[in-house]
């Protein structure tokens, strides 16, 4: 699937597991390591001990909009999940993340490679006290590796590099 481009809307990091996320206007990403000052860069994330591709995590703004509109209607009422709450590092718009598994794409100076789709987890639902597991099924974001480090900033275009 080929798409034109998307936009990076938000950047968030947390210094350690369960800590509040902090919004950044720009961030430095280090190849094979993560976002400087993030819990996975610091190796203090909940899932740090588990081998996985987790340099940076992304989620689509469109998913947050769907939850707020109760689409699909899997719960009693809409769920408001703010970008600072979802625990993913980057919030995107106009990017079909599910199609980027195994593909390279660019944000600012950085080249990322889609690793695997993120699974909704009870940890997030319990932390936020919101029924998120089923509503986020198959749309909980994308875990990526950093193939080329550099700077990213809010508003950067997201460009697909591979079909």
pLDDT in tens, 41-86: 987 776 555 667 889 999 999 999 999 999 877 778 899 999 999 9
CA angle 29, 61, 102 (to 5 degrees): 55
Please name the helix (run of DSSP H) or strand (run of DSSP E) that holds residue 61, with its range, or none.
helix 61-68
**Could you tell me if residue 21 is inside a domain?**
yes
Report which DSSP code applies to 31: T
**Could you tell me if residue 26 is inside a domain?**
yes
**Could you tell me if residue 129 is inside a domain?**
yes
pLDDT in tens, 111-121: 999 999 988 87
Report which of 101, 99, 93 is spatially closest to residue 66, judged by C-alpha positions: 93
Cis ω before 72 (30° cut-off from 0): yes
**Could you tell me if residue 49 is inside a domain?**
yes
Give Cβ neighbours of residue 137 (< 8 Å, ≥ 6 apart).
120
- Structural domain including 55 reads 6-160
**Could you tell me if residue 1 is inside a domain?**
no
Q: What is the pLDDT of residue 109?
A: 97
Total domains present in the chain: 1
What CATH number does residue 109 fall under?
A: 2.40.33.20
pLDDT in tens, 111-151: 999 999 988 878 888 888 888 888 888 899 999 999 999 99
Mean pLDDT (the chain, rounded): 90
Q: Classify strands 6-13 and 90-93 as parallel, antiparallel or unpaired.
A: antiparallel
Q: What is the pLDDT of residue 75?
A: 75
């Amino acid at each position: 699937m080929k798409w034109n481009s998307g936009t990076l809307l938000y950047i968030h990091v947390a210094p350690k597991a369960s800590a509040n996320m902090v919004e950044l206007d720009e961030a430095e990403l280090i190849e094979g390591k993560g976002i400087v000052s993030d819990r996975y860069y610091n190796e203090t994330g909940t899932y740090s001990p588990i081998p996985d591709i987790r340099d940076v995590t992304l989620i689509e703004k469109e998913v947050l909009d769907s939850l707020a509109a109760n689409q699909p209607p899997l719960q009693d009422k809409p769920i408001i999940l703010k970008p600072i709450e979802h625990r993913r590092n980057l919030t995107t718009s106009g990017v079909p993340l599910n199609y980027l598994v195994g593909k390279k794409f660019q944000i600012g100076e950085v080249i990322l490679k889609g690793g695997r789709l993120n699974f909704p987890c009870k940890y997030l639902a319990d932390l936020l006290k919101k029924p998120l597991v089923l509503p986020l099924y198959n749309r909980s974001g994308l875990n990526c590796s950093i193939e080329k480090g550099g700077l990213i900033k809010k508003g950067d275009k997201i460009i697909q590099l591979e079909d």
